[in-house]
């Protein structure tokens, strides 16, 4: 009776809502929002890697972003919407999967699933916590507020000093490294699954789509982890007078 009532209630929903709350719809929402988020992560990483070009480059990049004004907030709100959609669809799929198969998988089935796939919920939760921490750290200035008063010779916010000094804290650097390792693990499965969900399933493309997830995850891991490691190990010079 409860199952029939649930089906009847679902059919009463508008078509688009019924689709996105279905298993297939939730997977599509997750794939599309994941595509947006992966694109942002890659662009964000490339921008941040300018720290290796010196203070002028990274500070000019940060000043350019701040100069976008309201357009920057449009991008931020769009990314926030993609993140909420991604998390909501993931939660919806967990609920649907548990309802469809309340009995636990057998041991043989479990070990055949890739480690990255099995840890998707855990890695996703840690990555979400990392995003919140990262925003509080380098965008909101709530974690190390003393680093936000630095200005460069042009009177711009000195992002170079903020980052190099911020990663002198080994606890913070360690958290960034661990979080990005889990992000890479999340992407190694998520990116490959994204193509399958969006219908890129032709046999000729399968080797590429299967390899793309681990490749993108590895690139993002190396790029993002390289910054805190280089700062912590003194491979990136701290500007004079910033200490």
Binned at pLDDT 50, 70 and 90, residue 1 comes out as very low
What DSSP designation does 145 have? G
DSSP letters, 226-241, are HHHHHHHTT-SPPPTT
DSSP-assigned letter for residue 139: I
Question: All domains of the chain, ordered by start, with CATH?
Answer: 2-232 (1.20.1300.10)
DSSP 20-58: HTSHHHHHHHHHHHHHHHHHHHHHHHHHHGGGGG-HHHH
Q: Which of 150-164, 172-186, 200-214 has the highest mean pLDDT?
A: 172-186
At 237, list the tokens.
């010079």
CA distance 96 to 19: 13
What is the C-alpha to C-alpha distance for residues 76 and 15, in angstroms, rounded to an integer? 29
Spatial CA neighbour of 220 closest among 100, 30, 44: 44
- Cα separation, 160 vs 186, in Å, equals 29
> Residue 57: pLDDT band by 50, 70, 90 thresholds?
very high
pLDDT, tens digit, for every residue of 134-167? Answer: 999 999 989 999 998 888 888 888 999 999 999 9
Of 84 and 152, the structure prediction assigns the larger pLDDT to: 84
pTM of the predicted model, to two decimals?
0.84
């Amino acid at each position: 009776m409860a199952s029939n009532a649930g089906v009847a209630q679902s059919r009463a929903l508008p078509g688009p809502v019924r689709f996105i709350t279905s298993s297939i719809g939730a997977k599509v929402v997750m794939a599309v929002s994941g595509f947006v988020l992966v694109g942002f992560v890659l662009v964000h990483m490339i921008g941040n890697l300018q720290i290796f070009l010196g203070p002028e480059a990274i500070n000019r990049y940060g000043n350019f972003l701040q100069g976008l004004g309201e357009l920057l907030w449009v991008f931020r709100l769009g990314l926030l919407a993609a993140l909420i959609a991604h998390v909501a669809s993931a939660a919806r799929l967990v609920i649907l999967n548990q309802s469809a198969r309340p009995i636990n998988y057998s041991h043989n089935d479990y070990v055949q699933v890739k480690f990255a796939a099995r840890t998707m919920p855990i890695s996703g939760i840690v990555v979400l916590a990392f995003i919140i921490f990262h925003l509080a750290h380098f965008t909101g200035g709530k974690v190390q507020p003393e680093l936000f008063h630095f200005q460069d010779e042009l009177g711009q916010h000195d992002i170079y000093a903020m980052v190099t000094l911020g990663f002198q804290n080994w606890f913070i650097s360690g958290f960034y490294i661990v979080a990005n390792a889990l992000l890479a693990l999340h992407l190694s499965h998520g990116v490959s699954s994204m193509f399958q969900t969006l219908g890129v399933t032709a046999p000729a493309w399968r080797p590429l789509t299967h390899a793309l997830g681990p490749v993108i995850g590895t690139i993002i891991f190396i790029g993002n982890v390289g910054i805190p490691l280089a700062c912590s190990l003194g491979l990136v010079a701290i500007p004079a007078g910033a200490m």
